């Protein structure tokens, strides 16, 4: 079984996460496994539950669940003893797409490591600097705050701590954070460490394994500016507790912390209340969707960068306008569009024309920005359709005329928004995430069979989407 798992997940992952997993017992349909730390437990649960289960099922088809428990208590500020949590054969709710940091970097781009390799800083892209960051209405404040942090000197009073920047995918969070790191380290006076939340977790778990947790903490606390990207991925009670200590220690010592995430602190539902309020206590800045001016600016700066190596490459003004107007969602696609035009015009030895652009970037063009649907809107529209009040949906009433609409509303909230089950539960009068999951599954099953319900759901979707 271990061999199968090892070949499924690969040697590195196996050694990092499963080497110390032990089999405790197999009972009827359940396999009981144990790991030494809570962190390992929650990490495995969140990321590998299905694969562990299917490895077992490959050999023992009767197995239907995996129970993962923590072998011995760990010295950590995590909450007191938890019961073993069952990992069932279902998709974990965190199945969201995880944009990798350097997903769209052009091949061959050097990834420079920071000078803090001993501490395992995440790789930095040399192109993501302030010089290449285009400022516009959507990001003026975030840029100014980031600049201020980057220009600070050791011992300067810290004006806002932490600086918390949030925005959707591709709106420049990583770019800005790496710019702060490059600029902040440039003088050599201060230590600025850039870590993805994932790297923070790896660093911590590796330190636990090699019994150097103390050294890890000391090292983290010895830096001037800690930059953490994609905080929404910080998982696991003990890592969060560790993050909380680190955050408090750094802030209390007057060190700067800079954080980026895809949502505001109040929506980081997996985090502890204390951490959330500490995060919200600094400066929280949102970067808005890129406006057309900003898109044009980014396109121009990309073209200029490309021309440094390919002098004959040029993109005429009307093409830039077309791209800025039609590629509306994120910076990654703007970069992708320029890369394609560059590749195409080089390979075919042709100048860039509007025709070529229309052909090449067709799939990046969205006729209309999809609307961001709010849970409140869903509740309002569902309540209206079923002739109940919104407060009925949020109430604890269990009469049939309220239960079904409530389930439909929760189902729509899960399928039309990016909110997690616990968050949806909270927005529906403080219900448990299992209740939401139950509702989602129920409606999913019903729309396949019940034509009338299917029509109602489709009509609700249409009302919400346009």
* Other residues' Cβ atoms within 10 Å of the Cβ of residue 370: 9
236 binds ligand ADP (CB under 6 A): no
Residue among 363, 364, 284, 303 at smallest CA distance from 328: 364
List 116, 166, 173, 404, residue binding ligand ADP (CB under 6 A):
173
Q: How far is CA 8 from the centre of its chain?
A: 25
List 78, 167, 183, 443, residue binding ligand ADP (CB under 6 A):
167
At 373, list the tokens: 């649907």
In the window 28-57, what residues touch ligand ADP (CB under 6 A)? none
Residue 249 or residue 304: which is nearer to ligand ADP going by CB?
304
Residue among 139, 98, 99, 95 at smallest CA distance from 332: 99
152 binds ligand ADP (CB under 6 A): no
Cα separation values, 417 from 266, 437, 448, 459, Å: 16, 15, 21, 17
Residue 45 or residue 232: which is nearer to ligand ADP going by CB?
232
Phi (first) and psi of residue 330, to 5 degrees: -150, 165
Q: Is 3 annotated as a binding residue?
A: no
Binding piece for Mg ion, criterion CB under 5 A, among 151-159, 172-180, 342-350, 393-401: 172-180
* Other residues' Cβ atoms within 10 Å of the Cβ of residue 435: 16
Residue among 309, 369, 286, 308 at smallest CA distance from 333: 369
Q: Is 173 annotated as a binding residue?
A: yes
162 binds ligand ADP (CB under 6 A): no
122 binds ligand ADP (CB under 6 A): no
CB-based closest residue to ligand ADP: 331
Distance CA 287, CA 165 (A): 7
336 binds ligand ADP (CB under 6 A): no
Residue 166 or residue 431: which is nearer to ligand ADP going by CB?
166
Beta-bridge mates of residue 85: 68
Task: Using alpha carbons only, give the angle 269, 208, 178 rounded to the nearest 5 degrees.
Answer: 60
139 binds ligand ADP (CB under 6 A): yes
Distance CA 329, CA 364 (A): 9
Closest approach of ligand ADP to the CB of residue 314, in Å:
19
List 45, 114, 174, 181, residue binding Mg ion (CB under 5 A):
174
Q: Is 209 annotated as a binding residue?
A: no
179 binds ligand ADP (CB under 6 A): no
295 binds ligand ADP (CB under 6 A): no
Distance CA 9, CA 15 (A): 10
Q: Could you list the residues that contact ligand ADP (CB under 6 A)?
A: 128, 132-134, 139, 167, 169-175, 298, 301, 331-332, 335
Per the annotation, binding residues are 170, 172-174
């Amino acid at each position: 079984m271990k061999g199968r798992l090892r070949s499924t997940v690969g040697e590195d992952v196996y050694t990092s996460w499963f080497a110390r997993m032990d089999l405790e017992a197999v009972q009827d349909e359940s396999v009981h496994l144990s790991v030494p730390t809570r962190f390992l437990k929650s990490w495995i649960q969140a990321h590998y539950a299905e694969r562990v289960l299917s490895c077992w099922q490959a050999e023992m088809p009767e197995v239907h669940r995996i129970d993962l428990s923590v072998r011995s208590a760990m010295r950590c500020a995590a909450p007191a003893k938890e019961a073993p949590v069952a990992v069932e054969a279902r998709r974990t709710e965190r199945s969201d797409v995880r944009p990798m940091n350097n997903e769209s970097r052009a091949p061959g781009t050097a990834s420079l490591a920071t000078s803090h390799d001993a501490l395992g800083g995440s790789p930095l892209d040399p192109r993501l600097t302030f010089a290449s960051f285009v400022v516009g209405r959507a990001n003026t404040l975030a840029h100014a705050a980031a600049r201020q942090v980057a220009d600070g000197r050791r011992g300067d009073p810290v004006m806002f701590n932490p600086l918390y920047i949030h925005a959707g995918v591709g709106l420049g969070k990583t770019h800005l954070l790496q710019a702060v790191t490059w600029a902040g380290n440039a003088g050599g006076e201060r230590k600025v460490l850039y870590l993805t939340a994932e790297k923070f977790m790896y660093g911590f778990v590796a330190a636990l394994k090699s019994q150097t947790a103390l050294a890890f903490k000391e090292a983290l606390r010895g830096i001037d500016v800690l930059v953490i990207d994609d905080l929404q991925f910080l998982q696991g009670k003990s890592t969060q507790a560790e993050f909380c200590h680190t955050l408090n220690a750094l802030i209390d010592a007057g060190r700067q912390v800079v954080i980026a995430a895809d949502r505001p602190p109040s929506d980081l539902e997996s985090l502890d209340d204390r951490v959330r309020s500490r995060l919200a206590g600094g400066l929280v800045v949102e970067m808005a969707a890129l406006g057309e001016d900003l898109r044009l600016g980014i396109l121009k700066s990309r073209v200029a960068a490309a021309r440094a190596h390919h002098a004959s490459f040029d993109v005429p003004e009307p093409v830039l306008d077309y791209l800025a107007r039609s590629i509306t969602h994120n910076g990654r696609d703007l970069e992708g569009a320029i890369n394609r035009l560059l590749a195409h015009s080089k390979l075919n030895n042709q100048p860039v024309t509007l025709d070529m652009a229309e052909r090449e970037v067709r799939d990046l063009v969205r006729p209309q920005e999809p609307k961001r649907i709010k849970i409140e809107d869903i509740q309002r529209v569902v309540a209206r359709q079923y002739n109940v009040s919104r407060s009925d949906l949020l109430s604890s009433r269990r009469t049939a005329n309220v239960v079904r609409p409530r389930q439909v509303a929760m189902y729509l909230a899960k399928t039309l928004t990016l909110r997690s089950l616990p968050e949806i539960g909270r927005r529906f009068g403080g219900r448990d995430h299992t209740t939401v999951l139950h509702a989602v599954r129920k409606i999913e099953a019903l729309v396949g069979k019940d034509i009338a319900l299917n029509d109602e759901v489709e009509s609700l979707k249409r009302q919400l989407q346009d």
